[in-house]
Amino acid sequence: MEFLIRAAEILQPNTPLHKVKKDILISNGKIAKIEDQIDFDGQIVSAEYLKVSAGWMDMRAHYNDPGIEHKEDLISGTQTALSGGFTDVVLLPNTDPIVSTKNGISYYQRFNESAQVTLHPLAALTIDCEGKEITEMIDLHTAGAVAFSDGLNPVWHTDILLKGLQYLQKFDGLLINKPEDKLLTSFGHMNEGEVSTMLGLKGMPVLSETVMIQRDLSLLAYAGGKIHFSLISSAESVELIREAKAQGLRVTCDVGVNYLKYTDADLSDYDTNLKVNPPYRTETDRLTLIAAVKDGTIDVVVSDHTPHDEECKKLEFDLADFGSTNQQTFYSVMLEVFGDDLDALIDRFSTMPREILGLENSQIAVGNDACLTLFNPSTQWTFDAKTNNSKSVASPLFNSELNGSVVGVVNKGSLFLNEYEA
């Protein structure tokens, strides 16, 4: 397959090509030429204000496959990822059965053989993600697990977390933990504060997050290794991680894209699509998270794509499940939050996830495999039943008109173009 990307502004920070407009010729899955102008008679992808970067990687998504496919499956999930601009997706292990065996890893590897998106499975740190007994981590690493996590569940058992950090050092593996003390969030539905009091809902305190981060950082300093905190949500968490980095600890973290847009004040009409865990916190927290993405304290922005069927969301607020579907609207939210600054932050969801996971980075250079995301900040589109590729409609942005769209994705030798952009 051969095609030309015409006059696209390349976003590749810290390289001579950054913010330079070029033609890019793709031939047989490789970048064949990068020049000011290339004569070509075949398929041409072009658009005013077209931009291109290394393929985007979502470091946290839940496709519920195998076992819970009525919420999402690998086919609908990868179509959603492509529409959202992602060439690579890291999947949580909280399926049925839990991803804790070599067969569980190979399930995704077989799918990757024919899929345009590359799926990277996380393996469970503990058996059944219950936090009681460690899995066969060396075997799972050898089989292809990119990191170890209990996914939706925090690692509550202190000794298990300590042993996990120690065992992972045998192959420089990464432990990913969601910082939450569940004893402090039991029966909670939103951020604990003035808004939860006014709405009459039990709150989930910031302390539930920071006490876990403090514990994990203490164990990291004691045992060594490296840890990644997934879905931090508070200003206090940012400061703890900033201090740990200054001390030289091997710690990284991510934030969900919607935490940069929403606060607990947005829950005033009890929209269950805004019920997430950790909860959206205050405006001060939101602004601190945005600043931390800009200064690099927060290494990665993830979609936190957690799709649900309507039966789990069209309920009273206190009965609805946590989570929303966010992959397809990822770029539009990022553009709304960061505007023109987004060009300099493109590595937060392209190269940085790969660096943290120890994967080969995708650089835009002649001779390299073409793994690219094409996008346009000037267009508008409507996220509705026609454009949505997920099985889930559990999004606070459903039926909204959004600015900025993904034009397409180049990966594994093929070109995907969004229908509403083609």
Find the catalytic residue in 58, 254, 304, 347: 304
Q: State whether residue 209 is helix, strand or coil.
A: helix
Dump the DSSP string for 153-184.
Answer: S----HHHHHHHHHHHTTTT--EEE----HHH
The percent helix, strand, coil of the chain (3-state, each to 5) is: 35, 25, 45
Distances (CA, A) of 49 to 175, 328, 419: 40, 20, 18
Respond yes or no on whether the N-terminal peptide bond of residue 66 is cis (omega within 30° of 0): yes
- Listed in order, strand segments (DSSP E) in 214-330 are 227-229, 251-256, 300-302
Determine the Cα–Cα distance for residues 185 and 191; give it in Å rounded to an integer: 10
Q: Which of 321, 300, 292, 227 has the alpha carbon at shortest distance from 257? A: 300
Is 341 an annotated catalytic residue? Answer: no
Torsion on CA atoms 287, 230, 90, 371, rounded to nearest 10: 40
For the annotated catalytic residues, the residue numbers are 304
